[in-house]
Amino acid sequence: MRAVSTPQVLLLENIHSSSHPNFARHGVKVHTSPKGMAEELLIETLQGLPGDGPRLLGIRSKTHVTARVFAAVPNLVAVGAFCIGTDQIDLAAAARHGVAVFNSPFGNTRSVAELVLGEIIMLSRQVFMRSTACHAGHWRKSAKGSHEVRGKTLGIVGYGHIGSQLSVLAEALGMQVRYYDIISKLPLGNARPCESLTELLGLSDFVSLHVPDTELTRQMIGADELAAMRSGAYLVNASRGLVVDIDALKATLDSGHIAGAALDVYPVEPKQAGKPFENVLRGYEQVIMTPHIGGSTEEAQANIGREVSTALTRFIADGVTLGSVSLPEVDAPPNVGCRIINIHRNVPGVLSAINRVVAESEVNVVGQRLATAGEVGLLLVDLALDRGHNHGRALSQAIGALPTSLRTRLLEES
Ligand code: NAI
């Protein structure tokens, strides 16, 4: 019997150590580097990892995983984006090479919702402008313009992960929650949907934006929408900078129509920490500005570490691709026997060709799971064989040799 090849994971960009126990539990050897890597160095480092076992790669936003990386490292089986976005990974190339890519779509959801809730209270009590005055030696003690948030209406635009979390937290403070979403969403607690954005804007004391950056949402809050807001209301944007027309917001604040805003995201943001920040609203005391830190907490990083490492290790051990953004999603119970994963081109006849190979081997199949998406298909085959049986390896090699196969692996090897 051949020696088992230990899987190796390369974790870049200071990925949280909460990911390590998962890798240890699954016998994956961890290699770390605090910085991102350029293409050439990334290829060399992945190729240089010990042994010939499967490679996993963990990155955040700085490392770009290009088509060349996938082509140059044939035993790279999965990439974990330990963040929300996956723009830095060539997902089409990943699919073509049968590589599973996972991310963390809600690891920092709660962090954003908490920051927004805090800012709503800070705006309502004019905390930042009074704090700044104290620092400057002025005692601005007065109740004028300060309000409790209890009983006020919060309008949430985009009732997804963050919007719906915020809804629950705001209700706990006694706020009335209304929301607007382009798709029908289950209202949590006593929250109620609005028919239109205009309706929401007209009845909210606070408007908080939680939509993605799409053609529909870019500049969705412009001069008309700001004019449709209640006089004295507040706007919060911790979604994406281009959702708000910043010049229109400046003009509306200058007119005094709305009382203030809290911004965490901007149309143009510095590329890295420490770089200068420019924005037309700098110096506006009624605007809270934070440097895109909505999701930046230790807890969020730890959540992301656990979530993405779980996805990677389930893929390595069981062939499960739930949550993959590159491959078809297949769920399966833990692999306790002999399981083959075959990722193939999604063309007619694949299943019958694979089954012909299996039938000729006279090994009994105890379960099969297939899913396809676009040009790629993923098949898990459970065989009535004990772990380590040579037939399993021979069968995996025969299936892998089919012209439609992109990548085939006997999962007991990991
Ligand atoms: P999500 O995808 O769970 O929810 C977005 C919601 O917006 C969905 O329910 C969708 O149907 C809705 N939507 C889309 N287009 C719409 C439109 N034109 N009008 C109304 N509703 C619309 O996303 P999630 O996780 O809640 O994130 C929301 C935003 O927060 C994203 O832009 C994301 O980039 C941003 N974000 C910001 C962070 C920060 O650090 N400030 C951290 C994490 C996310």
Which tens digit of pLDDT belongs to each residue from 141-197?
999 999 999 999 999 999 999 999 999 999 999 999 999 999 999 999 999 999 999
pLDDT of residue 362: 83
pLDDT of residue 217: 97
Q: Which of 82, 110, 207, 210 to mutate to test the pocket of ligand 1 (most atoms within 8 A of CB)?
A: 210
Atom number of ligand 1 nearest to Cα 115: 41
**10 Å Cβ neighbour count for 299?**
14
pLDDT of residue 256: 97
- Backbone Cα Rg of the chain: 26
Which tens digit of pLDDT belongs to each residue from 188-232?
999 999 999 999 999 999 999 999 999 999 999 999 999 999 999
DSSP 355-392: HHHHHHHTPPEEEEEEEEETTEEEEEEEESS-TT-HHH
**10 Å Cβ neighbour count for 141?**
8
pLDDT of residue 4: 52
Average pLDDT over residues 241-258: 98
State the CATH class of domain 109-289.
alpha beta
181 Cβ closer than 6 Å to some ligand 1 atom:
yes
pTM, whole model, 2 decimals? 0.89
Question: Structural domain boundaries of the chain?
Answer: 1-107+298-327, 109-289, 332-414
Element (H, E) at 237: strand 234-237
pLDDT of residue 167: 98
C-alpha to C-alpha distance for 63 and 39, rounded to whole angstroms = 8
pLDDT of residue 414: 46
Q: How confident is the model at residue 35 (pLDDT cuts 50, 70, 90)?
A: very high
Write the single-letter amino acid at 35.
K
83 Cβ closer than 6 Å to some ligand 1 atom:
no
| 221 within 8 A of 209, measured Cβ to Cβ | yes
Q: How confident is the model at residue 2 (pLDDT cuts 50, 70, 90)?
A: very low
Question: Matching CATH topology for 1-107+298-327 and 109-289?
Answer: yes
* Residue nearest atom 42 in ligand 1 by C-alpha distance: 295
State the CATH class of domain 1-107+298-327.
alpha beta
Q: What share of the chain is helix, strand, coil (3-state, %, to 5)?
A: 35, 20, 45
Q: Which residue has the higher pLDDT, 3 or 258?
A: 258
- 375 catalytic residue (yes or no): no
| 48 within 8 A of 73, measured Cβ to Cβ | no
Which tens digit of pLDDT belongs to each residue from 357-367?
999 988 889 99
DSSP 51-70: SSS-EEEEE-SS--B-HHHH
Average pLDDT over residues 376-383: 95
Average pLDDT over residues 391-395: 88
Catalytic member of 55, 178, 210, 240: 240
pLDDT of residue 265: 97
Per-residue buried b or exposed e for 15-44, using 16+ beta carbons within 10 Å of the residue's own CB: bbebbbebbeebebbbbebeebbeeeebbe
In this predicted structure, the answer to whether residue 136 has a pLDDT above a threshold of 90 is yes
CATH 3.20.20.140 fits 332-414, yes or no: no
In this predicted structure, the answer to whether residue 3 has a pLDDT above a threshold of 70 is no
- 356 catalytic residue (yes or no): no
| 29 within 8 A of 8, measured Cβ to Cβ | yes
pLDDT of residue 273: 85
Looking at beta carbons, which pairs linking 60-64 to residues 24 or more positions away fall under 8 Å? 60/12, 60/13, 60/14, 60/15, 60/36, 61/13, 61/85, 61/88, 62/12, 62/13, 62/35, 62/36, 62/88, 63/12, 63/13, 63/36, 63/37, 63/88, 64/39, 64/88, 64/89
- 240 catalytic residue (yes or no): yes
155 Cβ closer than 6 Å to some ligand 1 atom:
no
